[in-house]
Chain A
């Protein structure tokens, strides 16, 4: 009996992940078949998903961590804007070099993580409220630094942003010119973070503590886990990831301005949910989140390729998917309860 329950527990989390992965491949392969004339079958089309969403992947990973503890962070969009603006400001107006900008980005994210983590873990304030305040603060500070759009013209920065890494395959375009597929360094960083985190979640004490706290805080407490410390660590790590993700986002957009990355927190949350992370905590993987981001990218890619549909359909399809996954989650968790009785 015990054995069976254990199996079941593993199943519900891998089951959600499986659905996400299957869904992604179904959608993408369907797109390749339908729009093969429109370049959907090209490898570069897939790589573009990673290139355009590198920042979101990293931010979504951070979001997954805090969601596993049962929390949430809605400040990430504003922090991204603040990171981009600060990086652009110090490079363009203060003449600092790119390394200073990177350091500032990561430190900024870390500071947000520490302050929010402390308020949430040690003062027991609702994560939603704390990060809501963080969201307003971040956006406000961005405007305080500058209300202008700052274009980054730093040579080394542009070199990083435009540094194509060519892959040993490619495709032929309509004019018959062979074009080699490429990625940017941002993709490698994002994927490396996903891999490191997924190992960390699975095989380190920290990872196991996260799942334990999110699954059942009471029993985790009784097991002698330091809940406050673990939560704090999760938010700090999330903060650093947001800082890194923000900088990757900046490498993609090459600019800093107030309106940047608006609503990105919602993209991150929806990617995590589609990727199989439970809003109630305890279940979730960063690999799932990666696929969540890819699914979102694929939907908008399909709709852009289609060419005549309004791009607002992306939101509609996403909302339908979210509904589907939330219903699935609640069915799974209610069955889990019944089983454990």
Chain B
């Protein structure tokens, strides 16, 4: 008797799983049909996860670019911050015979084996955002990401132009650098950009470099101790992302100083998130240099180049804008190239994708 009960339970459960599988197949019939009818380019994209606004904007950009209307079939996989998931996903993409693999690696290391498998299968791999550290550069076709050092140089060039325009070009300027997480490529590049600027100006002094770990809490904590140490000697606070800037601004205001171009301290920031630009609009952040997450179009350019049988550039930087509170500096020049500085308005914020 008992055994018969179990058996029936088991059968019911099995039927349930089977029907679940069936239901799944029904929902995918639509894509299967379009798949076989058109010559869609199949792209497998392994994303790190969805940990920040920046990351979400990055995923959205990919999904928008590689849509069926544009002639692509995108297989999107969220790795939930786990490298082993990304490795498994890439293996899956290879077996699905995708035409291109796009990888936003969660870590820089550990890609030798699986990229070799992709290479053996003849599938080009395009890396976005973070770089991969592999023994053979030939394992990936191209890389798309931000030029963090250029971001830093742009910010330094703006500071120089602004001070000259305000008639303070010869004054001595004290700068503090609230760095990102030490070792992150964004931190290394942005610090290097600032240091290059400081070296060019004998009247600029870099008082201290200390890490705010890219977080608001740590940014505030660091700024509080810097204010105790240097007080109103500080002229410029160079924060390496928006979150640190929010913390630093809180600390500065709590200490009774005024931030902004007409205040006691100028706060400069990076990333240009929505919240960051809102603070730029109100003048709390004087300059916000963008870190562009919209990699989709660049990746598509590379794929189009490859489709034509040409070799794309190994490294491709995304275009990044500069946003400032006022319009005293229309453009900055870094290494002979001009970059427009955009004055932030509500329309600018509204028109942005993230």
Contacts and interface: CB of A to CB of B under 8 A. Distances in A.
Interface of A: 15, 19, 22-23, 26-27, 30-31, 33-34, 37-40, 42, 44-45, 48, 51-52, 148-153, 158, 161-162, 173-175, 177, 179, 249, 251-255, 257, 259-263, 297, 300-302, 304-308, 310-312, 324, 328, 331-332, 335, 338-339
B121 interface: yes
Contact of A48 (B77, B92, B110): B92
Given A37-B36, A161-B112, A312-B80, A52 B87 contact: yes
B18 A311 contact: no
Contacts of B13: 324
A12 B93 CA distance: 39
Interface in B53-94: 73-85, 87-89, 91-93
Interface residues of B, number: 53
B112 A174 contact: no
B92 A161 contact: no
A161 B113 contact: yes
A307 B76 contact: yes
B199 interface: no
B75 A307 contact: yes
Nearest to A335: B2
A301 B96 CA distance: 11
Contacts of A42: 95
Interface stretch (B21-29, B140-148, B331-339): B21-29
B78 A150 contact: no
B14 interface: yes
Given A42-B95, A48-B95, A306 B83 contact: no
Nearest to B28: A306
Interface string B1-20: 01000100110011001100
Contacts of B31: 307-308
A260 B77 CA distance: 19
Nearest to B181: A147
B201 to A, nearest CB: 33
Contact of A151 (B10, B28, B75, B108): B108
B96 A177 contact: no
Given A27-B21, A304-B75, A254 B109 contact: yes
Nearest to B97: A174
A254 B6 contact: no
A179 B116 CA distance: 14
Contact of B88 (A38, A48, A335): A48
A144 B338 CA distance: 46
Contacts of B36: 37
27 contacts: A26-B17, A27-B21, A34-B25, A38-B95, A44-B95, A48-B95, A52-B87, A149-B109, A151-B109, A151-B110, A152-B109, A152-B110, A174-B97, A179-B121, A254-B109, A254-B111, A255-B110, A262-B81, A305-B96, A307-B73, A307-B77, A308-B76, A311-B77, A324-B13, A335-B2, A335-B6, A339-B2
Nearest to A264: B84
Contact of B83 (A48, A179, A253, A263): A253
Residue of A26, A253, A263 ringed by the most chain B CB atoms within 10 A: A253
Interface in B99-141: 107-113, 116, 121-122, 133-135
B14 A22 contact: yes
B88 A300 contact: yes
A245 to B, nearest CB: 13
Contacts of B134: 151
A48 B94 CA distance: 10
Given A23-B14, A27-B17, 20 more contacts: A23-B17, A26-B18, A30-B18, A37-B32, A37-B36, A39-B97, A48-B91, A52-B88, A149-B107, A174-B97, A177-B122, A254-B112, A259-B81, A262-B81, A304-B88, A305-B75, A305-B96, A307-B31, A311-B79, A312-B78
B17 A158 contact: no
Contacts of B73: 307
Contact of B95 (A45, A249, A252, A335): A45
Nearest to A259: B81
Residue of B111, B112, B116, B135 ringed by the most chain A CB atoms within 10 A: B112
